[in-house]
């Protein structure tokens, strides 16, 4: 039987510090056995003068180090954060369905950036990286927006949409870069970094 290219991770107990079902699904697709970390509240503020493209990596780093003091020597922790950037503004998770509607109106017919930052940390080493994709939506009608928000309630998603959901299938015109990065985890880059551990 062929060996798993990530058999080097066998020396670790891999822990994902994320409650995103998308990130769980993607890490499972990579044939990695992992546990989910207990939830820790992390302050997600960032310096006002920070470049918006650097925010996701910075926040993934903050999340990792909130957990690091609890880590055991045999553990390898993965944290991630995804930001949606439109016209020099970060579109976070909408607080309400009404906020989601407003965000989707903003991104309709435009191209925005999706940046996912990832931190991998053990008690001996760590690495933080970010991957950027560009997503272009076609024009979204009010009917499309209302249908999506009322059916999917995307208040748990940055930018108020899931690329893998209905609005992604019918509304996204083009993606430049990694699809999985837009979904919440840049799997190719993550795989390359994990090979080094």
**Catalytic residue annotation:** 81
User: What six digits make up the tokens of 129?
Assistant: 């990286």
- The 3-state DSSP class for residue 72 equals coil
List the one residue out of 127, 132, 95 whose CA is nearest residue 111.
Answer: 132
Report how far residue 38's alpha carbon sits from residue 43's, in angstroms, rounded to the nearest whole number.
Answer: 16
Can you name the residues that pair with 52 across neighbouring β-strands?
none
Can you name the residues that pair with 86 across neighbouring β-strands?
89
């Amino acid at each position: 039987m062929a060996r798993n290219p990530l058999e080097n991770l066998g020396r670790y107990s891999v822990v994902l510090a994320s409650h995103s079902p998308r990130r769980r699904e993607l890490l499972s697709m990579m044939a990695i056995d992992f546990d989910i970390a207990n939830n820790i509240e992390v302050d997600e503020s960032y310096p006002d003068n920070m470049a918006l493209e650097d925010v996701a990596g910075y926040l993934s780093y903050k999340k990792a180090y909130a957990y690091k003091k609890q880590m055991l020597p045999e553990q390898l922790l993965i944290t991630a954060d995804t930001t949606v950037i439109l016209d020099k503004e970060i579109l976070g998770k909408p607080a309400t369905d009404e906020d989601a509607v407003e965000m989707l109106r903003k991104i309709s017919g435009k191209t925005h950036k999706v940046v996912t930052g990832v931190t991998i940390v053990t008690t001996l080493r760590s690495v933080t990286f970010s991957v950027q994709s560009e997503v272009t939506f076609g024009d979204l009608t009010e009917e499309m927006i209302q249908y999506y928000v009322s059916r999917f309630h995307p208040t748990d998603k940055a930018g108020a949409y899931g690329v893998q959901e209905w609005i992604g299938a019918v509304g996204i015109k083009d993606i430049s870069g990694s699809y999985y990065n837009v979904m919440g985890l840049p799997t190719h880059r993550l795989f390359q970094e994990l090979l080094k551990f």
